[in-house]
Chains A and B, each alone.
Chain A
């Protein structure tokens, strides 16, 4: 294992949606600074949008909605727990981002008058902008990275954040093909490694049959935690209504503007709105538990040309393999509903609201360390939120680094990290990562899948802590297997945080995401606050505590405005 040392001004970890945008914005703002994108896969086709996207879920377009309306809707949808100023950014800058993407060649749907053709999927307001031709999104982004002459290192996975006196000064990484170790010093670091998509085990039992791109294993959540950053509201899980077994979105967002809807076994509506929320997931859970399942996305009542049009979007974009999935099972939308199921749990602020705590400039609690995209806690942020947060972080960071020198790397830390990376390679006959990961994630299902029970969560927490010993038994035979082993470290950290946070918040909130059987009601008197997880730097223990919400920018009366999507 060679050690490769590098030094840059601004380091972007994860060249996905947020990361590509951040790198371009950093370079545009400060052309003389060295900007590096470090990517575990290859930025041409990595992350959530590897095969494009079939729509923008959170587009605030003048004439359709205002940033204030958007912030109000997310405040209500997220049961009041948010930093409105960060969500406001998504509303303020999203339009700009969409226009810039359009200049780069990304196509958004327009009506006959050439205006953005927004659709209503949310409870109130039009925020969904279809992208029927969105399949080349990631290629277009990576072209912009190239055009701006930004240095990219593909196939290197960041493994830890380096700090000095509480400031972030770099990262360590693993070349997942050669096995070499990277030590990269940087004046500011942006973590944007996506969701923790490999937390629960899919019902299929296939480790990589996840909703999220399985490359995103919670790397950033864990690295930020280990560096001492605050994470917030980790008990607010990501749980999605997905195509059973396939585990991809059934895509009511695409289909519902055409007249499709989510229905129970008798073909009737049971939710009034298809926008994903914990409250909606709770309605799905109730429906399934009242004998009216399975639930399905219903399109079979639509006419042929409408169904063909929906298919042309869904089979070409985002998760195009769904076409062969249905074909293999002899299913046809003209006749069959798309059977749906409740997914395993994950962590993702792009969809729900848990992650590394950030302010409106995407600063974490550690100076020099920024977070953006799915791993940064800006509720319901989705794709446009990832672009906006990447941009905001980069532009802020380029100012921050002006008066900053590089830090000094602690060689003891590097040696310890090197030993941690070498351990599985030195133990080639150790337990394979597949088995170690399978069992860990099965425990996540057994003990954390909502509804949550106190004793279950306690057992889970103990098991996840004990599982540190199992990680010592991991064996790897090549750098690729080593990458998977190190990802299990990330997943384990996330599992421990998920159990700890779920036990701590003794109320129910966010519908199914944090539905506790022993505290079934929302308790605003005690819990209208963030829960913060942070590593104690004295004894390395995981600590958890309450923290006040930031004052709202816009008053919302949450007693009056309840997010209710049930059909009476």
Chain B
């Protein structure tokens, strides 16, 4: 099987300057389990483009680091 990596615009944006290294709140609450920490930086990011634009991640973030956009195809 031949595979390629497509670029996609992901809906969730994390302001890294506000993301706390020790926190995992958004990662724990996301029903689709699409957020993870970047092991190099300790910052959260959207690893999988599978979002219900439901907002728990944004609501539970203690520092307001997360912005959820409506996914591009629906926007």
A residues at B contact (CB < 8 Å): 41-42, 44-47, 50-51, 155, 176-177, 204-210, 213-215, 245-247, 319-321, 324-325, 328-329, 429-432, 473, 475, 480, 483-484
Q: List 29 A-B contacts (CB under 8 A).
A: A41-B30, A41-B31, A45-B30, A45-B31, A45-B54, A50-B56, A51-B55, A51-B56, A155-B33, A177-B33, A204-B74, A205-B73, A206-B71, A206-B73, A206-B74, A208-B32, A208-B71, A209-B73, A209-B74, A213-B52, A214-B50, A215-B31, A245-B74, A321-B53, A324-B68, A329-B75, A431-B1, A480-B47, A480-B48
Which one of B3, B28, B31, B70 contacts A321 once the chains associate, using CB atoms below 8 Å? B70
Q: Mark B46-75, 1 if CB is under 8 A from A, else 0.
A: 011011111110011000000011110111
A7 CA / B53 CA spacing, docked (Å) = 36
Contacts of B14 in A (CB 8 A): none
Say yes or no for B20: interface residue by CB 8 A criterion.
Answer: no
Contacts of A206 in B (CB 8 A): 71, 73-74
Q: Are B1 and A430 closer than 8 Å at their CB atoms?
A: yes
Contacts of A41 in B (CB 8 A): 30-33
Q: Are A328 and B70 closer than 8 Å at their CB atoms?
A: yes
Contacts of A205 in B (CB 8 A): 73
A50 CA / B60 CA spacing, docked (Å) = 12
Contacts of A213 in B (CB 8 A): 31, 52, 54
CB distance from A555 to the nearest CB of B (A): 43
Q: Are A207 and B50 closer than 8 Å at their CB atoms?
A: yes
Q: Interface size (B, Cβ < 8 Å)?
A: 26
CB distance from A211 to the nearest CB of B (A): 10
A214 CA / B1 CA spacing, docked (Å) = 28
Q: Across the A-B interface, how many residue pairs have beta carbons closer than 8 Å? A: 90
Q: Are A214 and B73 closer than 8 Å at their CB atoms?
A: no
Q: Are A44 and B74 closer than 8 Å at their CB atoms?
A: no
A487 CA / B47 CA spacing, docked (Å) = 19
Contacts of B55 in A (CB 8 A): 51, 320-321
CB distance from B34 to the nearest CB of A (A): 8
Q: Are B54 and A429 closer than 8 Å at their CB atoms?
A: no
Contacts of A480 in B (CB 8 A): 33, 47-48
A483 CA / B56 CA spacing, docked (Å) = 21
Q: Are A214 and B32 closer than 8 Å at their CB atoms?
A: yes
The 5 A-B residue pairs whose C-beta atoms are closest, nearest first, are: A45-B56, A41-B31, A45-B29, A206-B73, A321-B53
Q: Are B70 and A246 closer than 8 Å at their CB atoms?
A: yes
Contacts of B30 in A (CB 8 A): 41-42, 45
B residues at A contact (CB < 8 Å): 1, 3, 28-33, 47-48, 50-56, 59-60, 68-71, 73-75
Given contacts A42-B28, A42-B29, A214-B32, contact A325 B54 (CB under 8 A): no
Q: Are A51 and B73 closer than 8 Å at their CB atoms?
A: no
Contacts of A321 in B (CB 8 A): 53-55, 68, 70
Q: Are B1 and A215 closer than 8 Å at their CB atoms?
A: no
Contacts of A324 in B (CB 8 A): 68-70
CB distance from A212 to the nearest CB of B (A): 9
Contacts of B59 in A (CB 8 A): 51
A155 CA / B24 CA spacing, docked (Å) = 15
A28 CA / B50 CA spacing, docked (Å) = 37
CB distance from A176 to the nearest CB of B (A): 6
Q: Are B74 and A247 closer than 8 Å at their CB atoms?
A: yes
Contacts of B47 in A (CB 8 A): 480
Add 17 more A-B contacts to A206-B73, A214-B32, A325-B75 (CB < 8 A): A41-B30, A41-B33, A51-B56, A177-B33, A206-B71, A208-B50, A208-B52, A209-B52, A209-B71, A246-B74, A321-B70, A324-B69, A329-B75, A431-B1, A432-B3, A473-B1, A480-B47
CB distance from A442 to the nearest CB of B (A): 14
Which one of A177, A325, A429 contacts B70 once the chains associate, using CB atoms below 8 Å? A325
Q: Are A204 and B3 closer than 8 Å at their CB atoms?
A: no
A215 CA / B50 CA spacing, docked (Å) = 10
Contacts of B68 in A (CB 8 A): 321, 324
Contacts of A51 in B (CB 8 A): 54-56, 59
Closest B residue to A135 using CB positions? B59
Contacts of A45 in B (CB 8 A): 29-31, 54, 56, 60
Contacts of B31 in A (CB 8 A): 41-42, 45-47, 50, 213, 215
Most chain A beta carbons < 10 A, residue from B33, B48, B56, B74: B74
A247 CA / B51 CA spacing, docked (Å) = 13
Contacts of B70 in A (CB 8 A): 246, 321, 324-325, 328
CB distance from A378 to the nearest CB of B (A): 24
Q: Are A319 and B54 closer than 8 Å at their CB atoms?
A: yes
CB distance from B45 to the nearest CB of A (A): 14
CB distance from A429 to the nearest CB of B (A): 5
Q: Are A325 and B74 closer than 8 Å at their CB atoms?
A: yes
Contacts of B29 in A (CB 8 A): 42, 44-45
Contacts of A475 in B (CB 8 A): 1
Contacts of A204 in B (CB 8 A): 71, 73-74
A395 CA / B55 CA spacing, docked (Å) = 34
Q: Are A429 and B32 closer than 8 Å at their CB atoms?
A: no
A429 CA / B68 CA spacing, docked (Å) = 31
CB distance from A234 to the nearest CB of B (A): 24
CB distance from A177 to the nearest CB of B (A): 7
A246 CA / B70 CA spacing, docked (Å) = 8
Contacts of A431 in B (CB 8 A): 1
Contacts of A328 in B (CB 8 A): 70, 75
A324 CA / B68 CA spacing, docked (Å) = 9
Closest A residue to B56 using CB positions? A45
A45 CA / B3 CA spacing, docked (Å) = 34
A447 CA / B54 CA spacing, docked (Å) = 30
A484 CA / B55 CA spacing, docked (Å) = 21
Closest A residue to B48 using CB positions? A480
CB distance from A329 to the nearest CB of B (A): 8
